[in-house]
Amino acid sequence: MSSTAASGFVVFLLSVPVMQGQNWKVTYNPPETCVLKGSTVEISCTYRYPSRINGRDTAVEKTIWFTRVSGREPVDLRADSEYSGRVQYHCGKNSCTLTISDLRERDSAEYKFMFTTNQPGGSFAGEPGVPLSVTDPDLRVGVKPIVHQGYTKAELRCHSACRLPDHPSYIWYKKGQEIEAETASFTISFEWSDSFSCALKGREDFPSPPVCVNRQHCHRVLYTDRSICAFKGSSEEISCTYNSYESIKSAFWFSPGRSRRGRILPSLETLVKTPSMQVVFR
């Protein structure tokens, strides 16, 4: 298989047969799946049809993948402007693979394959299709404290309900600071004030929510939204909840990127008493 873009991943799952008629059949691969934004996915199928009908040999004249219908006709993904430059078909005898690169959230849809033969009314679409969900990494941290003979450790595991790329590298954070760990799970010594979160390397903007080892009593911040898209000139509210192992004396919002350029958000102290703020995008 050809290599994908630097930021991309390729997803494969097991095949599951779908709708079949007498001598007509489409089998999809993969079945229902969820993949990461920016990655590449391959959806394959095999199909069959009667070799001869009413004394006439059957020949396949057209194969397409589609997600929508316009004027009662399926729209070939290769002709859909939403997929321009991102779709490829690799079709052989009785098989066809759809490749979509640089996946976007709006690519979430049910994908179907249809083939057309030289027989009267000889078009067949596999139903149901393949549901595809495109999302940001939905990571979670599982914590199992281990207290034994005077020392305290915890087993940490980073996992996701969405299928992740093969052999991913992870980044781990303790109280918001990166620590040396790249595997999905490991054991670490901790203090009761510690919180832990994880992220995929290359997808650091979408870490898991931080979790406390000691129930809810640790230093952590939970953001209501991890990603916000806003129009220039509009305003948007950013909010969070936070707690601490100790008494909180002050809190404020800041932008690390702006701070590095010497442009700290103004009036930070006015934000001390509230867990939310409003930003105007210019």
Q: Does residue 170 share a domain with residue 59? A: no
- pLDDT computed for residue 81 by the predictor: 92
Q: What is the pTM of this model?
A: 0.65
Domain of residue 115, CATH code:
2.60.40.10
Question: Does residue 11 belong to any structural domain of this protein?
Answer: no
Alpha carbon distance 48, 42 (integer Å): 20
- pLDDT computed for residue 31 by the predictor: 61
The per-residue pLDDT string of the chain (282 residues; one tens digit each, 9 = 90 and over) reads 433 333 344 443 333 333 334 588 999 987 667 888 888 899 999 999 988 888 888 999 999 999 999 988 899 999 999 999 999 999 998 999 999 999 999 999 999 999 999 988 888 999 999 999 998 888 999 888 777 666 678 889 998 878 777 788 899 998 888 888 888 888 888 877 788 999 988 888 888 888 887 666 777 777 766 666 777 778 877 877 776 766 777 777 777 654 444 343 443 333 444 555 454 444
- pLDDT computed for residue 160 by the predictor: 86
Rg of the chain in Å (alpha carbons):
25
Whether 26 contacts 19, CB under 8 Å: yes
Question: Does residue 7 belong to any structural domain of this protein?
Answer: no
The angle formed by the CA atoms of residues 59, 89 and 137, to the nearest 5 degrees, is 140
Q: Does residue 118 share a domain with residue 32? A: yes
Sorted by sequence, the CB contacts under 8 Å of residue 54 that are 6+ apart come out as none
Question: Does residue 236 belong to any structural domain of this protein?
Answer: yes
Q: Does residue 119 share a domain with residue 27? A: yes
- pLDDT computed for residue 158 by the predictor: 93
DSSP state of 256: H
Cβ burial of 77 (10 Å; 0-12, 13-18, 19+) is: buried
Question: Does residue 4 belong to any structural domain of this protein?
Answer: no
- pLDDT computed for residue 257 by the predictor: 56
Alpha carbon distance 69, 106 (integer Å): 16
- pLDDT computed for residue 95 by the predictor: 94
Whether 155 contacts 167, CB under 8 Å: no
Cβ of 93: how many Cβ atoms within 10 Å? 7
- pLDDT computed for residue 269 by the predictor: 38
Question: Domain boundary residue among 78, 111, 135?
Answer: 135
Q: Quick one: tokens of 82?
A: 């939403």
Q: Does residue 234 share a domain with residue 123? A: no
- pLDDT computed for residue 198 by the predictor: 92
- pLDDT computed for residue 227 by the predictor: 66
Question: Domain boundary residue among 135, 157, 188?
Answer: 135
- pLDDT computed for residue 249 by the predictor: 73
Phi then psi for residue 245, to 5 deg, are -75, -20
Sorted by sequence, the CB contacts under 8 Å of residue 261 that are 6+ apart come out as none
Alpha carbon distance 212, 220 (integer Å): 8
Whether 8 contacts 39, CB under 8 Å: yes
Range of the domain at 83: 16-135
Question: Domain boundary residue among 135, 163, 178?
Answer: 135
Whether 130 contacts 43, CB under 8 Å: yes
Q: Does residue 215 share a domain with residue 271? A: no
Question: Does residue 98 belong to any structural domain of this protein?
Answer: yes
Domain count, the chain: 3
DSSP state of 163: P
Alpha carbon distance 113, 131 (integer Å): 12
Alpha carbon distance 134, 104 (integer Å): 6
- pLDDT computed for residue 8 by the predictor: 41
Question: Does residue 187 belong to any structural domain of this protein?
Answer: yes
Alpha helices in the chain (DSSP H): 256-260
Q: Quick one: tokens of 13?
A: 């799952």
Q: Does residue 126 share a domain with residue 38? A: yes
